Amino acid sequence: MAIWVCGEALIDKISSGGQVREIPGGGPANTAHALARLAIKNEFIGGLSNDSYGQMMREQFVAAGVGLRFTPTHELPTCTANVTIAADGGASYRFLIDGTATFAYDEKNLPDFAGEEVDAIYFGTLATIVEPGASVLFEWMKRAVGKVPIIFDPNIRPSVLGDREQYQAAVARFLQISDVVKASTDDIGWLYPEMNEFEVAKSWLAHGVKLVVITRGEAGLVGITNEHMVEVPGVKVDVVDTVGAGDTVGAILAEGIRTHGLERALSAELSHILHRAVQASAITCSRQGAQPPYRNEL
């Protein structure tokens, strides 16, 4: 059994202190690496280039223990993201996307649910808005509804899709097939500026989502279901940068669902999972780049 992580693996070109570092990134790729550090078997479902960036990422996935059975190699370039780190550790992104291997999704490369064993599917970020790949993923994941827990991380990127109504429509489409949604207060604030986070969570639950987890940065996070709400305060830490913090939370949610099952993760184990997520994301924030904790650090 394994968790399937769907989305992009790209190169972050991080500008900080007058220097530029080239580091493998992408929200879903970060989540796959975080799961591997938790000793959770997972398969990354995406595209990698045969260029030097793609070869580097493939080598790092393999070294980390991330499965690549469903990750083909394409003769297309790797997507890159120019990342700027602000004084408070926050990150902003500008992407070069068109014609890259990163989003070259094709149904023939996606696994058959009938022939595979999977604990959960985790997906999100740019792969949910970059077409035609987003539609390919949606049609494929529809087959898993009611059979496999699906975790959606919209991880909003207005620099890629600045039309708010189009973005809302893209999110609404994937809400239809999702059991769990994780989003930040910034995500929600940009998507729905006229609504507060609890109104948004209620509307997502009305779509059929079973759990909404809202990350609040240093203020911690909150998990909301139709039955109850669990708020967890943040952990004090000297923030180096926030790259990968939300992706770490996503990995802990996936770990919790795999370990306890979806129903217990939504009820008896929810507080424990959310406290673990806050602790793990704080460790990630204390390090440069997306460096989530290993299991023995939690």
Domain boundaries, the chain: 3-293
Q: Is the pLDDT of residue 190 over 90?
A: yes
| pLDDT the model gives residue 130 | 96
Identify whether the C-beta of residue 194 lies closer than 8 Å to the C-beta of residue 164: no
Identify whether the C-beta of residue 193 lies closer than 8 Å to the C-beta of residue 65: no
| pLDDT the model gives residue 92 | 73
| pLDDT the model gives residue 96 | 86
Identify whether the C-beta of residue 137 lies closer than 8 Å to the C-beta of residue 123: yes
Across the chain, the runs of DSSP E, i.e. the strands, are 3-6, 10-16, 19-25, 42-45, 48-49, 73-74, 80-85, 91-96, 120-124, 150-153, 180-184, 211-215, 221-224, 229-232
Cis status of the peptide bond prior to 111, with omega within 30 of 0: no
pLDDT, tens digit (0-9, with 9 covering 90-100), for 264-288: 999 999 999 999 999 999 999 888 8
**Dihedral over Cα of 191, 243, 148, 43: its sign:** positive
Distance CA 11, CA 25 (A): 5
| pLDDT the model gives residue 89 | 64
**Dihedral over Cα of 160, 164, 166, 170: its sign:** positive
Identify whether the C-beta of residue 233 lies closer than 8 Å to the C-beta of residue 220: yes
Residue 15, classed as helix, strand or coil, is strand
Does this model's pTM top 0.75? My answer is yes
pLDDT, tens digit (0-9, with 9 covering 90-100), for 98-138: 999 999 999 999 998 877 889 999 999 999 999 999 999 99
**Dihedral over Cα of 241, 244, 249, 255: its sign:** negative
pLDDT, tens digit (0-9, with 9 covering 90-100), for 5-57: 999 999 988 777 777 888 898 999 999 999 999 999 999 999 999 999 999 99
Distance CA 233, CA 216 (A): 9
Distance CA 139, CA 123 (A): 13
The residue to which tokens 């080598």 are assigned: 59
CA 270 from centre of chain: 19
When the candidates are 3.40.50.170, 3.40.640.10, 3.40.1190.20, 3.40.390.10, the CATH number that belongs to 3-293 is 3.40.1190.20
Q: Is the pLDDT of residue 81 over 90?
A: no
User: Which tokens in the block code for residue 130?
Assistant: 């970059």
| pLDDT the model gives residue 55 | 96
